[in-house]
Amino acid sequence: MKTNISEVIIGCMSWGKWGRQFSTQEMSELLHFCLEEGITTFDHADIYGDYTTEADFGKALTKSNIEREKIQLISKCGIQYNCETRKNTIKHYNYAKEYIIWSVEQSLKNLQTDYLDVLLLHRPSPLMHPDEISEAVLKLQEDGKIIDFGVSNFMPSQINLVNSKCEVSVNQIEFSLTEHTAMHNGTLDQMLMNKIQPMSWSPLGSVFREATEQTNRIKEVLVVLAKKYNASEAQILLAWICKHPSKCIPVIGTTNKDRIKKAKSATKIELELEDWFALLVASQGHKVP
């Protein structure tokens, strides 16, 4: 990757209509706070807030007077969402050359910036064609509208398809202690082998959202490890992700300043080997083979 991504990425999905509904001033203050903590990368998608959150963020970015070069902006395109702001009759995907270019230009306008540091295709489409995607990506890069290109939620074969025509630098996937399929289906192996940067959305998984046999087992181990490492349980979960050799970067959705600060600190926690496996065993409910 050409882009220098921070150790933790701030996911902005809940900043607007789909969550906290922050004012321009509140967004601006949170931007400054993140930078003060050394977190400089912000993750968007065109669909967030029914296609409204990017524009809300763009106003806040302008108000903040933060120099564009001091932050990195990620956005995604491709999902056609059926909502009031689009005339779609059904949710679907569109990876036509003209649509990708148009979508990026809309994101740039909304975010009030000249370029995206990273553009991601949001989810794979059964109708996507690598030639058409490549033509769009190369045009956007030649025009200076995007720097790096990647995908999100793609399996290895789908990455190979796109990568056959243009370089894929990133794959943003769901990866956590409760959703670690990517460790077993070749997704993380492929990224490590091909130097593709993994990013993890929902990095805390379902540990704090659900009370199941799995999460109960995990919490028993977390209590012990949190005390051992003098850390919060959420920090231990993030440290578990960061220990994977692919160097996966967590995308955190919290807007709580204390949690943001602790998330940044979690990247410095080095779990001992047996502690890492103790968490995996707790998640799986059985010892490793």
The partner residues of 150 in beta bridges, in order of sequence, read 120, 170
Mean residue pLDDT across the chain: 97
Q: Quick check: pTM over 0.95?
A: yes
Better-scored residue on pLDDT, 85 or 212: 212
> To which residue do tokens 């077993």 refer?
184
- 3-state class (DSSP) for residue 52: coil
Cα dihedral across residues 80, 83, 84, 88: positive or negative? positive
pLDDT surpasses 90 at 59: yes
Note the pLDDT tens digit of each residue in 1-28. 999 999 999 999 999 999 999 999 999 9
Return the percentage of the chain with pLDDT > 90, whole number.
97
For residue 27, which phi and psi values (nearest 5 degrees)? -65, -40
pLDDT at site 226? 98
Given a cut of 90, whether residue 253 has pLDDT beyond it is yes
Which residues, 6+ apart, have CB-to-CB distance to 3 below 8 Å?
72, 117, 118, 147, 148
48 is catalytic: yes
Q: What's the rounded mean pLDDT across residues 204-211?
A: 96
Q: What is the mean pLDDT of residues 231-258?
A: 97
User: Residue 250 pairs with which residues in a beta bridge?
Assistant: 200
Q: Which residue has the tokens 């669909």?
A: 47
CB-based contacts of 281-287 (< 8 A; 24+ apart in sequence)? 282/214, 282/217, 282/218, 282/220, 282/221, 283/177, 283/178, 283/180, 283/214, 283/217, 283/218, 285/213, 285/214, 285/217
Rounded CA separation 200/174 (Å): 5
Residue 74 has a pLDDT of 98
Quickly list DSSP for 166-221: S---EEEEE-SSS--GGGTSSHHHHHHHTTPEEEEESTTTTTTT---HHHHHHHHH
pLDDT in tens, 264-273: 999 999 999 9
Q: What is the mean pLDDT of residues 149-164?
A: 97
Q: Is the pLDDT of residue 97 over 90?
A: yes
Q: Please, which pLDDT band fits residue 85 given cuts at 50, 70 and 90? A: confident
The per-residue pLDDT for 84 is 87
Element (H, E) at 265: helix 257-266
pLDDT of residue 247: 96
Strand partners, 43: 11, 74
Which residues are within 8 A (CB) of 116 and not within 5 positions of it... i.e. 6 or more apart?
73, 74, 75, 104, 107, 108, 145, 146, 147
- Rounded Cα distance between 52 and 110, Å, is 8
- Contact assessment for residue 42 and residue 3, using Cβ atoms and an 8 Å cutoff: no
User: Architecture of 9-174 per CATH?
Assistant: Alpha-Beta Barrel (3.20)
Confidence at 119, pLDDT banded by 50, 70, 90: very high
Catalytic residue among 48, 51, 93, 229: 48
pLDDT at position 238 is 98
Q: How far is CA 64 from CA 91, 131, 188, 261, in A?
A: 35, 39, 37, 20
